[in-house]
Amino acid sequence: MQSRYSMNQKNKKPFLKWILISLGIVVVLAGGVSAYWMSLHNWDIEESLEALSPSEAAVETVEPKEDVSSQEGEAPMPEEPQSPIESEKPAEPESAEKPETPPAEDPPASEEGKAPEQEETPPAKEQPVKDATIYQDNLKLPAQPTIINNVVIANKQHPLPQSYAPGESKEARAAFEAMRAEALKAKIDLTAFSTYRDFARQKVLYDGYVAKDGQQAADRYSARPGYSEHQTGLAFDIGETGQEQHWASATFGDTKGGKWLMDNAHRYGFILRYPEGAEKITGYMHESWHYRYVGKEMAADVYAKGVTLEEYLGIY
């Protein structure tokens, strides 16, 4: 006779068998479901696990976006990422505001096209003084002399006709003799050692100077034929008798006679034609002995203004 324990053990076996079978079925079903779920997520365990819980991205897709472009201190988030082409394209520069004052090296121009400081201190002349020492290229001798304000002009820009031969001016000679008489009272004996020279004589002198000193040096103190004031008959080279060593020399201006002429020649209608420091205006170096007759009225005006004949007549 079997005991109660044996019978109970025998009755439990079928029950355990079914439990095990049920667990096996559950395990198989769970494995199948897991395999199917992982297949939906590329067999990636992390991705499968993240899919089981709602992510931040999922929440953001559900919640409406917040416009933060107007929030102070924060930059707005782009709604969509730029494409590769757009990301490589340089951003267009923002338009800069115009400065209140221009750079110092580019000052604002006035209505006349000049800077304000130039308007306050304008130059004395609108055009710069040209270099009158240079002869004009291909300038031919004219048929008639240039006359401005009744003054015959002879310089490197205004030549005389080759045939122009007026001789020594009688009016100029009379004025010189009156001046000489006045100088004698001061025990100064003036002499005009060179006055009128015609075209041919000037050519001989000029060619001799060129042969001696070269054309560039000769052009500073001697006029080319057709350009000499001596051809007008109004130019007087003046010296002092007994002081011949100073004739046609810069030292004449330092002598008693030279100083007297500087102070009194204008009273007789003569002006110092080539003053010191005016070479680029007159065309010739300083000649303390070369005086030009222009008449008492004009000579007094030129002397008072302290200008050259070119400046006085406005031809430079």
pLDDT tens track for 233-270: 999 999 999 999 999 999 999 999 999 999 999 999 99
Domain-located, residue 218: yes
If one compares 74 and 184, the residue with the highest pLDDT of the two is 184
What six digits make up the tokens of 268?
Answer: 């007789």
Domain-located, residue 116: no
Q: How confident is the model at residue 21 (pLDDT cuts 50, 70, 90)?
A: confident
pTM beyond 0.75, yes or no: no
Q: Is 224 exposed, middle or buried (0-12, 13-18, 19+ CB in 10 A)?
A: middle
pLDDT, position 30: 66
Please determine, for residue 274, whether its predicted confidence score (pLDDT) is greater than 80.
yes
What six digits make up the tokens of 80?
Answer: 């969509």
Domain-located, residue 87: no
pLDDT, position 126: 42
Q: How confident is the model at residue 14 (pLDDT cuts 50, 70, 90)?
A: low
Domain containing 275 equals: 146-313
The CATH number that applies at residue 285 is 3.30.1380.10
Domain-located, residue 97: no
Please determine, for residue 309, whether its predicted confidence score (pLDDT) is greater than 50.
yes
Domain-located, residue 137: no
Rounded Cα–Cα distance for residues 163 and 180 (Å): 32
Please determine, for residue 16, whether its predicted confidence score (pLDDT) is greater than 90.
no
Residues 295 and 170 in one domain: yes
Residues 160 and 38 in one domain: no
The answer to whether 162 touches 141, Cβ cutoff 8 Å, is yes
Please determine, for residue 57, whether its predicted confidence score (pLDDT) is greater than 80.
no
Q: What value does the mean pLDDT of the chain take?
A: 77
Residue 270: which H helix or E strand, with range? strand 270-274
If one compares 146 and 106, the residue with the highest pLDDT of the two is 146
pLDDT, position 33: 62
Q: How many domains does the chain have?
A: 2
Residues 150 and 296 in one domain: yes
Domain-located, residue 161: yes
Of 220, 76, 237, 234, the closest CA to residue 154 belongs to 234
Cβ-Cβ contacts under 8 Å for 117 (sequence gap 6 or more): none
pLDDT, position 138: 86
Domain-located, residue 2: yes
Per DSSP, 246 falls in state G
Q: Is 173 exposed, middle or buried (0-12, 13-18, 19+ CB in 10 A)?
A: middle
Collapsing DSSP states into helix, strand and coil, what is residue 57? helix
Residues 180 and 306 in one domain: yes
Domain-located, residue 156: yes
Q: How confident is the model at residue 27 (pLDDT cuts 50, 70, 90)?
A: low
Rounded Cα–Cα distance for residues 256 and 277 (Å): 22
